[in-house]
Every structure is written in structure tokens, then in C-alpha cells.
Amino acid sequence: MSDIWTMIWKETKDSVLQGGWSALIRPLLLIGILGILLPWRLGLQWLALTPVVMGLILYIPFIVILSFVGDAIAGERERHTLETLLASRISDRAILLGKVIVTVGYAWGTALIGLLLGLIVANLSKGQGSWEFYTQFDLLLEALALSLLASLLGVSGGVLISLRSATVRQAQQILIVCTLVLVVGGVLALRAVPAQTISSLSSSQIWLIAMAVLAVLDAILLGVSLVSFRRSRLILS
């Protein structure tokens, strides 16, 4: 466990603390869009957590992931720090999990801050009146769970791609293509489901199914990443 905390501190320092303000510009911009601009325009619709809002809460963290996760392994390889990391006593699993935890925390934190700011901004946008919370607490919990699972999906897949990429640029290009394929595939899969089946399900049931699918994909990708990350292979490569 101490090895994982060591990696968490290293990744936090490398990706956030040493990056200065330039490393925070994109996350702050996305938080501004998710937590201020969209809630101000949508108003009380934001508090209802409509399917469009849920989709935005899932999509924005993906943008954060695309800007960071390609650097996970490929960046270490480009900077010639991967050999030093692999020569340490930190276990392979701790190295990988440390990178995954920090990136997931960064992306999920964006969603959490966006939801918190969105609550404040949406209430301010309606002018005077009583303060309102998110109208359905169960949907709020589902939004938090879906955001976490979606972040883990993006990070697990991104680390696997970064592991097999020679450069950060190559990893980011592949990530963009995979994201487009995932979005298009999801839309086509939804269209293939009979309309009667979808209409017979409540919104909570649909989101629970989505969580189950994401959880399975997360387990598969994270498992493949843990199996693939072996210092003996990386040193030879």
C-alpha cells in the first residue's frame, strides 16, 4: 500500500504541482463550462439532471482524461524516466495503480466540482426564490457513480494505449479515434435496441444498466492493463 501512495504522490507532483498554471488551464476551463456556463444557461433543467445533462457530466471528464492519460507511460518513455521508474523497488501493480488512481481522481474531481458549482449557479440563474437542490437525489448518486465508472474506463483504456505507444502524440491520436468509435458504437447500440424496450424502462433502470456495462468494461480493461504492465517486457522494449 505504501508503494501505491508513493506513486500517487509522484504522479500528483509530476502532473499538477510541477506543471504550474499551464497544467491547470484546461481543467479550469472545463470546470468553468461544466459548472458555470452550462448550469447558467440551462437553469433549473440542470438541477433535474436530464439525459443531456447526464451526458455532459460523463463527457467532460473524458476531455480531461484525453489531455493527461496519454502521458502515463509514453511520456515516461519519451522523457527517458521510465527506466529509472522500473529500476525502483516499487512493484509493477503499484506503479500502474498509482497512475490510474491519480488520473481518475483528476477527472472525477472535475465532475464533482462541476456538480457543486452547477448547483450554486443554477439557483443563482433563476433569480430570487427558495434554494433548490437536485430534484432527484437518486439521479445525483447515479451521476456520481457513472462519472466515476466512465473516468475509470477512459483511464484504463488510455493507460493500455499509452503502454503500447511510442510517443505521447501517438497515444493521444489513438485515444481520440477510440473515443469516437466508442461514442458512435454506443449510439448504434442504442438504436439497435427496440424502442418498446427502452420506453418500458425508467431512467434509473437505464442508468443502472449503463453502470453495469461500464463496470464490466472497467474490469476487463483494468485487468488487461495490469497483466500487460510487466517491467521485464518494458525494459526489453
Tens of pLDDT, residue by residue over 58-107, are 887 777 787 778 788 888 888 888 888 888 888 888 888 988 998 898 88
Tens of pLDDT, residue by residue over 200-209, are 877 778 888 8
- Positive or negative: CA dihedral 163, 164, 170, 171: negative
Q: Give the pLDDT score at 218.
A: 92
Task: Give one word for 126, left, alpha or beta, with left for phi > 0 and alpha for psi -120 to 50.
Answer: alpha
List CB contacts of 111: < 8 A, sequence separation 6 or more.
Answer: 34, 57, 60, 61, 143, 144, 147, 151
Nearest to 153, CA basis, from 188, 107, 98: 107
Instruction: Provide the whole-model pTM.
Output: 0.86
Contact 40, 125 (CB under 8 A): yes
Residue recorded with cell 470546470: 31
> How would DSSP label each residue in 90-152?
S-HHHHHHHHHHHHHHHHHHHHHHHHHHHHHHHHHHT-SS-----S-HHHHHHHHHHHHHHHH
Half-sphere exposure of 9 (CA within 13 A, CB side): 6
* pLDDT band with cut points at 50, 70 and 90 for residue 145: very high
Residue 89 is classified by DSSP as: S
Domain span including residue 222: 2-236
pLDDT at 3 over 60: yes
| Rounded percentage of the chain residues whose pLDDT exceeds 70 | 92
Domain count, the chain: 1
* pLDDT band with cut points at 50, 70 and 90 for residue 236: low
Span 141-161, mean pLDDT?
A: 90
Residue recorded with cell 509493477: 92
Tens of pLDDT, residue by residue over 14-49, are 765 555 555 667 777 878 888 888 888 888 888 888
| Rounded percentage of the chain residues whose pLDDT exceeds 90 | 8
pLDDT at 148 over 80: yes
Span 154-174, mean pLDDT?
A: 87
Span 209-219, mean pLDDT?
A: 91
